[in-house]
């Protein structure tokens, strides 16, 4: 009974922390501007199925994709076992599904064990890639101390959780031969290898080991679930909505600014009679801070798991410039978190004297972008760092007139000669007279 009460408290505590954190994340995403993304539902659903659920874009890199698939399937399937854990924990039962499922339960447990070993192996290889082989994209400058530690904590925790399952099953199997309370599971292949370790352990100690592993696993999973909401690992949930809301138009198309369209039309005397009926609120041109970006730009920042496939493909980054599309997403997220935390404490929030542009992302970074879309193409969950870069550039050019001098000359040339270079417009057709 005490165990049941304790379990309830742990479960409720984790639920409370997660709910609170989800509320916080939702509020920071809502700092963003409204964007109506309700069109082309079929194509959007298709993206979710192919890209998020089906991991289509991951498979451009086969080895990490293959290992990641194990962790992903492991996560989805082993969560079924968590359901049994929760029922057992609340009802005070032990392996409640086993008597009902019989032989199928054995098959199910063996599947879980296979996945546990696969997850464990994959995470070990991931740790080696990160810290020993030092795969380049996982060791670039934009990954500072915390992001690197975050990644290692995730991998390490997953390994420990899988070890707990195997330990629990091994000790349980021996207890099944000694005590009726332990429902027969049938023989379990992978934890079977651990049996010699526990064979000569006394029953009372074994019970403690089994209970410890059980509690460790479930508390571990719940703690991990709370941790995920603070971590880059949030992609396990947000990859799904992010692929749903991703841009469907050709990658080359930039978002239009209707505010500017209205102004230009009235300047050229083209304004339609009913234009005044659709007044668009002026606001800021482009983006200086996170509230100038749309909510789905902001959600994308929370969907990023910092894999660095974007930065690895970025021509500017490859040639040693400061720009890193991954850092654009990480900075956006950091800014959202900082503003959100400040607001939570009744602080100034967005008015804390800092802005996304300049204090998090510098002009040097955004000026280096060739808008080549390599980062957008590379992202396995359809994040679009280019949209953010271009919005920041809009702010710099239109609100600050702070574009690089050569760009300002180019603007001037277009205004006066209708070409980005300083040629006379009357010479535009001269080529036809040359041999």
Partner 1 sequence: MNVPTVADLAAKGESPEILFWIGCAGSYDDRYKRVTKAFVKILNAVNIKFAVLGTEESCTGDPARRAGNEFLFQMQAMSNIQVLNGYGIKKIVTACPHCFNTIKNEYAELGGNYDVIHHSAFLQQLINEGNIKLEGGGSFKGKKITYHDSCFLGRANNIYEAPRAVLEALDADLVEMKRCRTTGLCCGAGGAQMFKDAEKGKKEINIERTEEALATGANTIAVACPFCMTMMSDGVKNKEREAEVKVKDLAELIAEAKGLN
The answer to whether 119 touches 71, Cβ cutoff 8 Å, is: yes
404 binds partner 1 (CB under 8 A): yes
212 binds partner 1 (CB under 8 A): no
The answer to whether 181 touches 105, Cβ cutoff 8 Å, is: no
CA angle 209, 214, 220 (to 5 degrees): 120
Report which of 39, 24, 22 is spatially closest to residue 244, judged by C-alpha positions. Answer: 39
Q: How far is the CB of 403 from partner 1 (least distance, A)?
A: 6
The answer to whether 383 touches 318, Cβ cutoff 8 Å, is: no
381 binds partner 1 (CB under 8 A): no
Q: Which two tokens stand for residue 301?
A: 């920042």
Q: What are phi and psi of 361, to 5 degrees?
A: -115, 130
Nearer to partner 1, 290 or 369 (CB): 369
Q: Which two tokens stand for residue 286?
A: 């482009």
User: Given CA atoms 11, 16, 17, 18 in this order, what sign does their dihedral have?
Assistant: positive
43 binds partner 1 (CB under 8 A): no
Nearer to partner 1, 204 or 256 (CB): 256
Q: How far is the CB of 54 from partner 1 (least distance, A)?
A: 18
Q: How far is the C-alpha of 332 from the C-alpha of 345, rounded, in Å?
A: 20
3-state secondary structure of 353: coil
The answer to whether 232 touches 147, Cβ cutoff 8 Å, is: yes
46 binds partner 1 (CB under 8 A): no
Residues 6 or more apart in contact with residue 97 via CB below 8 angstroms:
84, 105
3-state secondary structure labels for all residues of 159-181? HHHHHHHHHHHHHHHHHHHHCCC
369 binds partner 1 (CB under 8 A): yes
Nearer to partner 1, 57 or 129 (CB): 57
184 binds partner 1 (CB under 8 A): no
Q: How far is the CB of 324 from partner 1 (least distance, A)?
A: 12
Q: Binding string to partner 1 for residues 224 to 263, with x set by CB under 8 A, is what? A: -------------------------xxxxxx-xx--xx-x
Q: How far is the C-alpha of 314 from the C-alpha of 331, rounded, in Å?
A: 17
Give the one residue of 319, 345, 346, 353 binding partner 1; rule: CB under 8 A.
319
Binding part of the chain for partner 1, among 33-41, 91-99, 340-348, 392-400 by CB under 8 A, reads 392-400
Residue written as tokens 């749309």? 294
Binding part of the chain for partner 1, among 116-124, 222-230, 309-317, 342-350 by CB under 8 A, reads 309-317
Q: How far is the CB of 401 from partner 1 (least distance, A)?
A: 9
Give the one residue of 164, 368, 382, 383 binding partner 1; rule: CB under 8 A.
368
Residues that bind partner 1 (CB under 8 A): 60, 249-254, 256-257, 260-261, 263-265, 267-268, 270, 285-286, 313, 315-316, 318-323, 364, 367-374, 376-378, 390, 393-398, 403-404, 406-407, 409-411, 414-415, 418-421, 423, 425-429, 431-432, 434
């Amino acid at each position: 009974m005490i165990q049941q009460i304790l379990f309830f408290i742990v479960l409720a505590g984790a639920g409370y922390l997660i709910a609170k954190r989800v509320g916080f994340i939702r509020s920071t995403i809502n700092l963003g501007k409204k964007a109506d993304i309700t069109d082309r539902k079929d194509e959007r659903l298709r993206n979710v199925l192919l890209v998020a659920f089906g991991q289509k874009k991951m498979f451009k890199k086969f080895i990490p994709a293959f290992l990641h698939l194990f962790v992903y399937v492991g996560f989805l399937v082993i969560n079924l076992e968590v359901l049994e854990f929760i029922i057992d924990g609340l009802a005070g039962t032990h392996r409640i599904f086993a008597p009902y499922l019989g032989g199928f339960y054995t098959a199910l447990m063996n599947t879980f064990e296979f996945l546990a070993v696969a997850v464990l192996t994959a995470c070990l290889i991931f740790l080696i890639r990160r810290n020993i082989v030092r795969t380049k994209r996982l060791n670039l400058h934009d990954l500072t101390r915390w992001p690197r530690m975050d990644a290692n904590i995730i991998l390490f925790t997953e390994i420990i959780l899988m070890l707990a399952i195997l330990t629990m099953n091994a000790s349980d199997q021996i207890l099944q031969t000694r005590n009726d309370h332990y429902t027969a599971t049938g023989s379990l292949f992978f934890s079977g290898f651990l049996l010699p370790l526990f064979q000569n352990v006394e029953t009372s100690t074994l019970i403690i080991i089994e209970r410890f592993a059980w509690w460790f696993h479930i508390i571990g999973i719940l703690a991990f679930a709370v941790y995920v909401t603070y971590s880059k690992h949030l992609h396990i949930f947000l990859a799904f909505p992010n692929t749903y809301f991703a841009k469907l138009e050709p990658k080359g198309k930039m978002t239009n600014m209707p505010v500017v369209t209205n102004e230009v039309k009235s300047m050229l005397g083209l304004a339609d009679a009913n234009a005044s009926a659709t007044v668009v609120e002026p606001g800021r041109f482009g983006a200086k801070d996170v509230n100038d970006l749309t909510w789905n730009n902001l959600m994308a920042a929370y969907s990023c798991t910092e894999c660095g496939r974007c930065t690895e493909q970025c021509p500017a980054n490859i040639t040693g410039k400061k720009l890193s599309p991954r850092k654009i997403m990480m900075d956006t997220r950091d800014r959202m978190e900082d503003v959100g935390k400040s607001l939570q404490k009744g602080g100034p929030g967005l008015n804390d004297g800092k802005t996304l542009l300049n204090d998090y992302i510098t002009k040097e970074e955004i000026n280096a972008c060739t808008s080549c879309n390599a980062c957008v193409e590379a992202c396995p969950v359809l994040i679009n760092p280019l949209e953010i870069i271009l919005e920041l550039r809009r702010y710099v050019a239109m609100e600050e007139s702070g574009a690089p001098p050569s760009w300002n000359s180019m603007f001037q040339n277009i205004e006066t000669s209708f070409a980005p270079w300083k040629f006379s417009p009357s010479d535009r057709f001269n080529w036809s007279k040359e041999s």
